[in-house]
Amino acid sequence: MSVTIDVSYKSLNKNNEELCGDKVEILKTKDSNIIILADGMGSGVKANILATLTSKILGTMFLNGAGIEECVQTIVKTLPVCQVRQVAYSTFSILQIFKTGDAYLVEFDNPACVFIRDGALLTVPYKERMIEGKCIREYRFEVALNDCFILMSDGVIHAGVGKALNFGWTWTNMAEYSVQATNSTLSASRLVSILSKACDDLYMQSPGDDTTVAVARVIDSKPVHLFTGPPLNPVDDTTAVYAFLEGTATRIVSGGTSANIVARVLNRPIHTSLNYTDPNMPPIAYIEGIDLVTEGVLTLTRALKLMREYVEKEVNEDFFLELDKDNGGSKIAKIIIEECTELHLFVGRTMNEAHQNPSLPFDLSIRMNLVTQIIDIVHKMGKEAIVKYY
């Protein structure tokens, strides 16, 4: 099998700290995904530097084929030693999932990974090894579809100490809560948001420690096909529609003229929804066999805004409430963010005279600009985006 991984993480800074003392690195090699979570000692600038150094050193060495012994030795010898405690550096977890389905996890002093399979906690055996006087836990296992792995810094299991809870949110409580949350959501980003909010609530919105959750989920490949804009030459209408319909995918048509072309080629009627859930957004429509039919430029602009917010800002439950709204823009954004591993765009190059000066070349058109920005933001999500022009 070839494994696809959905990865996301979120950090809460310790109260009154500008910088987070935890650091997550997500790396892709040609045959695996690697997630590194490092937790620098203390908090603030010093902890941030220690965690950043640790995650960068581990990432670079792992990518270049170094073994865990070599990595740990390098960390121990590179990072400064705390004068007070006489211990160095930061703790870390490294999860590597290969496309073959084999996986390798190594943990040093971080809370243990939560393994969830088939809606229940999974116990994975590990070996302990001493490297440079440090006790390292190593796991080797095979992943299955829909498996979920949750890495965390110790701020997670200390959540609520002396506030909402006497002794903090224990690992067991956190693991049980994670199982419930995992069963109610499918995407890593939404699960991270749920777990992070639970920690923040236990800390009563003023975290006593840097708190980081990183989630990796094993998912099916989920291609999405998006058709927008009429082809330059009407002769290509049928070719474009049949290319758009090829294979198994979630199919979105964006644009009134585009929807008419698809309906005509398939000889199926269009039914427009009379449900105006958002006065600023045109309603969606329905064509049998197409998953989502929306208006064009306005809807794609809204979808792009949400995708940009997802990539560039700290998203929280309010963002996901926006994503769940019943309008074309939110629906497109939700599909691409949460239900897509690769986006295939089928883009017609005919200009819409309502949108711009028809004497300008297509490269300067609003639709072309939107398509370029969507491709860029999808790449930033770590997903593939492939475009074909007609």
**Domains along the sequence of the chain with CATH:** 4-219 (3.60.40.10), 223-389 (no CATH)
Residues with Cβ < 8 Å from 168, sequence gap 6 or more? 157, 158, 159, 160, 161
Token pair belonging to 300: 């794609």
**pLDDT per position in the chain (390 positions), as tens?**
678 999 999 999 999 999 999 999 999 888 899 999 999 988 889 899 999 999 999 999 988 888 888 988 888 778 776 666 656 578 899 999 999 999 999 999 899 999 999 999 999 999 999 888 788 999 999 999 999 999 999 999 998 877 666 667 889 999 999 999 998 877 899 999 999 999 999 999 999 999 999 999 999 889 999 999 999 999 999 999 999 999 999 999 999 999 999 999 999 999 988 877 788 889 999 999 999 999 999 999 999 999 999 999 888 889 999 999 999 999 999 999 999 999 999 999 887 665 555 555 555 578 889 999 999 999 999 899 999 999
Q: What is the SS3 assignment for 295?
A: coil
CB contact at 8 A, 93 and 151: yes
**Tokens 């699960």, residue?**
191
Summary count for the chain: helices (H), strands (E) = 11, 18
pLDDT 10s digits, 177-221: 999 999 887 789 999 999 999 999 999 999 999 999 999 999 988
- Give the Cα separation of 284 and 274 in Å (integer): 8
The answer to whether residues 217 and 147 touch, using CB atoms and an 8 Å cutoff, is yes
The pTM for the full model equals 0.87
CA gap 226, 30 in Å, rounded: 27
